[in-house]
Amino acid sequence: MKSQRSSFKYLIAVVSLAVFASGCSTTPTGRKQLTLKSDATLAAESTRAMAQLRATSALITDRATIDYVACVADAIVGTLDDEDAALYWEMAIVNNPEVNAFVMPGGKIVVKSGIMSVAKNQHQLAAVLGHEVAHVTANHANERATRSDLTGFGIEVLAAVLVGDSANYYSRNYDPNMASGVYGAAGTFGQLGLLNPFSRMQESEADDIGLIYMAKAGFDPREAVTLWQNMNSSSETTKIPEFLSTHPSGDTRIESMVSQLPQALALYNEAQANGLNPDCQP
C-alpha cells in the first residue's frame, strides 16, 4: 500500500508540473501546450539526423525540381515572423516514390519525390509544405515527445497499481501472465486512447496553420482541398480506421479545411492585392 501511495504522489507531482508548464508556451492557433524537452537539444539532434539523411539517401539532384520546391518553400517561410523566420530552414528532396513529407525540429524539411504525384501544382505543394512548416512553428515535436514520456510514466503507474504485488518479480504473489496482460492493456489504452488522438489533434492543427501560411504567401487555399481529394484517390493512401491512426482521415481533413476556407480566402485575396503572386514552375 505504501508503494502505491508513493506512486500516486509522484504521479500527482508530475501532473502538477505538466499543468504549470502548459501555460508557458502557445501554438500559432493560441492553444496552450506542454513542452518539457530542451528545444536546443532537439534541434541539435535534428541537425545530426539531417546530415545522416543527406549522406545515406538518394537525393534529387535535378536543378529544376530543386528550384521548384525551394520556390514554394521560400514563399511559405517568407510569411513567418520573429524566431520562426530566424530559423535555419533547410530542405532535402529524397528520390523516393512514397507520398510523404516530414519535418524535424529547427526547420529541417524532408520531401519525398512521390509527393509530386498528388501535389500537381504549386498551390497543392504549398499546402503540403505549409502543413510541414506549421509542425515546426507549433513546436509539435517537442510537445509530442513530452506527451509520450508522461503517458509512458502514467501507464507504468496505472499498471503497477492495478497489478499490485503480482507484478513484483521478487514477490511470492508474482504472476507473469497477469503482469503481462495488464501492462499490455495499459499500453494499448495509452496508444489508442491518449497518444493517437493527440497526434491527430496536432495534424489537424498543422492543417489549419498551414492553410493560413499558404494563403498569406499568395497560394490558393482552395487547392488544399483538391490535394486531399488527390490523396484520397491515391493508391498510396492507407485505408485504416481513424481511431487506429495517428492522422485524421482524408475526409475529416477535407471537411475541416472547407470550414477554414472563408478566413484563408480573405488572407489570400489580401496577399494578391499586395502583389504576392508566386510563380513557381514545376
Out of 83, 90, 98, 132, pick the active-site residue: 132
**73-115: per-residue pLDDT in tens?**
999 999 999 899 999 999 999 999 999 999 999 999 999 999 9
CA dihedral 182, 183, 185, 190 (to 10 degrees): 140
Regarding beta strands 25-26 and 32-33, do their DSSP bridges make them parallel or antiparallel, or are they unpaired?
antiparallel
* The pLDDT of residue 11: 47
Q: Is 132 a catalytic residue?
A: yes
State yes or no: pLDDT of 2 exceeds 80.
no
Alpha helix positions (H), 39-139? 39-56, 63-77, 82-86, 122-137
| Residue of 226, 210, 228 lying closest to 264 (CA atoms) | 210
Residue 24, number of CB atoms within 10 A of its CB: 11
* The pLDDT of residue 179: 54
> What is the mean pLDDT of the segment spanning 264-269?
98
